[in-house]
């Protein structure tokens, strides 16, 4: 048992509201404005008003645009819980976890968790995510000299390590891009819905080998907010509750030293085991996987680390398209970050809420009893997991 | 325009001074002997703030690498595609690096040896196949 025997939070709270702005490549609103719109829509989706909100957890993106006092932007006074959180891409999962604990303990009753970012301001995404424009000195300036820029490079080097150790191939990475695009084609709000074949994948330009352009997420401006409340309150509200039945985190603290293999064994192992145990389920019970897929490789390694396939066998596992529509392992059913929209951990979380509620339209997965959410940050450095269920009897918290 | 030359600062001065005389310098914990890259103030292993600079062997292996095709900085315009490596030093630490070899010849695990190149007024380690 990895949590308290006197207080098991499994199933005691639920996500009851989801608000998403339009995802754009153009600059229309600041991150502050985007956050306000997503919060407004999430509250309305839940059937609540802003007077009901007494907790606000805020996560800014790469631009660092949001402040802890975001509440002023939406005119919410007298919050009982508020902070700016930063576990990078894992923050979405973390926010929901802390919100779940807060509403179950009485620290707050209705907690909004929001992410917003506006990296696209006329330049390319490389300007925001590459870091080449930053002036550095000392040891850090060595990285500039070596041309080690940005998240693309960090993940490409992790992917290469996996390919070298386990024989993972370029075709297998491409299979992830293709299956994820097929889901995006069923999602009206996905940003990239054109046809993609494995040939298209191989034909897309190199960014940093082993990554082609189509191995990488498409950065977007936008915001997503969710509303978390107790299971009792959730049952009185407008939407089918997405009960939070499993939670876990794993932060390896990669020392970048001999012996560490965290590029191919991520914090998802520990985060996932904790969440499975809390939910009382295992990989076989998961019908829908919503995994942080900033790159194709992330999907491969994350599937391994959650136990869907043994370590090192993720490449062959994905190659036959089983992650796509109609496949045995539906994964990133909204098009993920690769083809859908890049809202850090809010990408997998938002689609997980939609799937748990059964509101996925033509992309809805039938077996949605347990939906896994994987949020991940840094270069595979931070990890937070959720397992959501529409079933009020799911989980091990003894609430049913 | 060329690659952006690194600049030494107080914390990294022993590293760059060592590079100028052909020595790869690392910090080492006086108590537990662990080596570090980049600069630390406190040993991450035993948490003692008692680190000294020591000369490393220069022996290394290629932990992983990529080949960059995207122009993040104008100083690399003439060098695309160039390799970006993580090398694992025999003493334990891993560092970003450039391998002075054809991109097509790189293999994870290959043995490397530190060498040094001069860029403007500062010397920088690069790694060559051993």
Task: Please write the tens of the pLDDT for every residue from A163-191.
Answer: 999 999 999 999 999 999 999 999 999 99
Facing B68 at nearest CB: one of A141, A153, A257: A153
Q: Is B114 a domain residue?
A: yes
Q: What is the DSSP letter of A345?
A: B
Per-residue confidence (pLDDT) for residue A125, from 0 to 100: 63
Per-residue pLDDT at A211 exceeds 80: yes
- Of chain B, the percentage scoring pLDDT greater than 90 comes to 98
Burial A96-120 (b: 16+ CB within 10 A, else e): bbbbbbbbbeeebbbbbbbbbbbbb
Task: State which residue of chain A sits closest to B76, comparing Cα positions.
Answer: A147
| Fold held by A13-121+218-389 | Peroxisomal Thiolase; Chain A, domain 1 (3.40.47)
Number of domains into which chain B is organized? 1
Q: Is B21 a domain residue?
A: yes
A164 with B109: Cβ contact below 8 A = yes
Confidence of residue A400 (pLDDT cuts 50, 70, 90): low
Q: Which residues contact A91 (CB under 8 A, 6 or more apart)?
A: A59, A85, A115, A344, A345, A375, A377, A384
Q: Tens digit of pLDDT for each residue in A305-336?
A: 999 999 999 999 999 999 999 999 999 999 99
Confidence of residue A128 (pLDDT cuts 50, 70, 90): low
The DSSP line for A117-130 is E---SSS-HHHHHS
Q: Is B8 a domain residue?
A: no
Going from N- to C-terminal start, the domains of chain A cover: 13-121+218-389
- Of chain A, the percentage scoring pLDDT greater than 90 comes to 91
Q: Tens digit of pLDDT for each residue in A23-77?
A: 999 999 999 999 999 999 999 999 999 999 999 999 999 888 899 999 999 999 9
Q: Which residues of B touch A161 (CB under 8 A)?
A: 63-64, 108
Q: Look up residue B78 and give its two tokens.
A: 């003439």
Q: Distance between CA atoms of A357 and A360, rounded to whole angstroms?
A: 8
Q: Tens digit of pLDDT for each residue in A243-255?
A: 999 999 999 999 9
**Terminus-to-terminus CA distance in chain B, angstroms?**
30
Residue A392 class from Cβ within 10 Å (0-12 exposed, 13-18 middle, 19+ buried)?
Answer: middle
The CA-atom distances, in angstroms, between A171 and each of A12, A163, B52 are 43, 11, 47
Q: Is B37 a domain residue?
A: yes
Q: Which residues of A touch B124 (CB under 8 A)?
A: 142, 145
Mean pLDDT within A340-359: 98
Residue A128 touches chain B, beta carbons under 8 Å: no
Range of the domain at B46: 13-129
Determine which one of A129, A292, A306, A341 is catalytic.
Answer: A292
Per-residue pLDDT at B93 exceeds 90: yes
Residue A170 touches chain B, beta carbons under 8 Å: no
Q: What is the DSSP letter of A340?
A: I
Per-residue pLDDT at A3 exceeds 80: no
Q: ipTM value, please give it.
A: 0.97
In chain B, residues 61-100 whose CB comes closer than 8 Å to chain A = 63-70, 72-73, 76, 79, 81-82, 84-86, 88, 92-98
Burial A3-33 (b: 16+ CB within 10 A, else e): beeeebbbbbbbbbbbbbbebbeeeebbbbe
Q: Tens digit of pLDDT for each residue in A259-312?
A: 999 999 999 999 999 999 999 999 999 999 999 999 999 999 999 999 999 999
Q: Is B1 a domain residue?
A: no
Q: Distance between CA atoms of A333 and A354, rounded to whole angstroms?
A: 10
B94 with A157: Cβ contact below 8 A = no
Per-residue pLDDT at A132 exceeds 70: no
Beta bridge partners of A343: A345
- Number of Cβ within a 10 Å radius of residue A241: 26
A208 with B95: Cβ contact below 8 A = no
Per-residue confidence (pLDDT) for residue A398, from 0 to 100: 85
Q: Is B105 a domain residue?
A: yes
Strand pairing category for B25-29 and A55-60:
unpaired
Q: Is B3 a domain residue?
A: no
- Virtual torsion, Cα A257, A260, A265, A270, nearest 10 deg: -100
- Number of Cβ within a 10 Å radius of residue A229: 29
Helix (H, G, I), strand (E, B) or coil at B28: strand
Token look-up 């949590």 returns A3
Q: Look up residue A215 and give its two tokens.
A: 């191995």
Contact indicator for A392, A231 with CB cutoff of 8 Å: yes
Task: State which residue of chain A sits closest to B89, comparing Cα positions.
Answer: A258
Please say whether the dihedral angle defined by the alpha carbons of residues A8, A14, A15 and A17, taken in this order, is positive or negative.
negative
H/E element holding A247? Answer: strand A242-250
Per-residue confidence (pLDDT) for residue A50, from 0 to 100: 96
Confidence of residue A6 (pLDDT cuts 50, 70, 90): confident
Q: Is B51 a domain residue?
A: yes
Per-residue pLDDT at B118 exceeds 60: yes
The CA-atom distances, in angstroms, between B37 and each of A145, A248, B119 are 16, 31, 21
User: B42, B64, B106, B112: which to substitute to probe chain A, counting the most A Cβ within 10 Å?
Assistant: B64
Q: Distance between CA atoms of A358 and A25, rounded to whole angstroms?
A: 29
Q: Look up residue A368 and give its two tokens.
A: 């949605």
- Number of Cβ within a 10 Å radius of residue A349: 31
Per-residue pLDDT at A240 exceeds 60: yes
Confidence of residue A135 (pLDDT cuts 50, 70, 90): low
What is the overall mean pLDDT for chain A? 95
A208 with B84: Cβ contact below 8 A = yes
């Amino acid at each position: 048992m990895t949590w308290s025997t006197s207080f098991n939070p499994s199933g005691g709270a639920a996500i009851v509201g989801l608000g998403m702005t339009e995802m754009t490549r153009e600059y229309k609103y600041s991150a502050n404005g985007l956050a306000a719109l997503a919060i407004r829509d999430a509250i309305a989706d839940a059937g609540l008003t802003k007077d009901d909100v007494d907790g606000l957890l805020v996560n800014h993106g790469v631009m660092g645009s949001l402040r802890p006092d975001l509440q002023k932007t939406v005119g919410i006074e007298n919050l009982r819980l508020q902070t700016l959180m930063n576990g990078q891409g894992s923050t979405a999962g973390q926010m929901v976890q802390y919100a779940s604990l807060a509403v179950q303990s009485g620290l707050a009753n209705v907690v909004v968790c929001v992410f917003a970012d506006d990296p696209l301001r006329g330049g390319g995404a490389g300007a925001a995510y590459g870091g080449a424009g930053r002036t550095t000195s000392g040891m850090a300036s060595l990285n500039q000299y070596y041309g080690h820029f940005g998240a693309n490079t960090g993940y490409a080097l992790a992917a290469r390590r996996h390919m070298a150790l386990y024989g993972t191939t370029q075709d297998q990475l491409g299979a992830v891009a293709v299956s994820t695009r097929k889901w995006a084609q069923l999602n009206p709000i996905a940003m990239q819905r054109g046809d993609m074949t494995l040939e298209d994948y191989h034909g897309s330009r190199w960014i940093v080998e082993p990554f082609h352009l189509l191995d990488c997420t498409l950065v977007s401006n936008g915001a997503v907010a969710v509303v978390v409340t107790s299971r009792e309150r959730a049952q009185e509200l407008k939407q089918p509750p997405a009960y939070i039945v499993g939670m876990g985190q794993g932060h390896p603290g990669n020392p970048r030293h001999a012996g560490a293999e965290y590029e191919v064994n991520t914090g998802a192992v520990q985060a996932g085991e904790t969440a499975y145990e809390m939910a009382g389920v295992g990989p076989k019970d998961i019908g829908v996987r919503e995994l942080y897929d900033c790159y194709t490789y992330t999907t491969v390694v994350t599937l391994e680390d959650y136990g869907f396939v043994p370590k090192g066998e993720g490449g062959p596992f994905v190659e036959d398209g089983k992650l796509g529509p109609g496949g045995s392992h539906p994964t990133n059913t909204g098009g993920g970050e690769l083809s859908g929209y890049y809202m850090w951990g809010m990408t997998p979380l938002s689609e997980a809420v939609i799937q748990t509620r059964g509101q996925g339209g033509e992309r809805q997965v039938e077996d949605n009893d347990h939906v896994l959410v994987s949020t991940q940050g840094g270069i595979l450095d931070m990890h937070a997991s959720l397992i959501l269920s529409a079933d009020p009897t799911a989980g091990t918290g003894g609430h049913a | 325009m060329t690659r952006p030359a690194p600049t030494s600062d107080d914390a990294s001065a022993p590293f760059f001074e060592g590079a100028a005389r052909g020595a790869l310098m690392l910090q080492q914990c006086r108590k537990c002997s662990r080596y570090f890259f980049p600069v630390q103030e406190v040993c991450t292993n035993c948490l003692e703030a008692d680190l000294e600079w020591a000369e490393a062997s220069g022996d290394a292996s290629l932990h992983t690498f990529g080949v960059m095709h995207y122009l993040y900085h104008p100083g690399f315009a003439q060098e695309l595609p160039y390799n970006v490596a993580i090398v694992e030093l025999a003493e334990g630490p891993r560092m970003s690096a450039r391998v002075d070899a054809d991109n097509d010849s790189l293999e994870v695990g290959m043995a490397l040896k530190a060498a040094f190149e001069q860029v403007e007024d500062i010397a920088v380690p690069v790694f060559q196949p051993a």
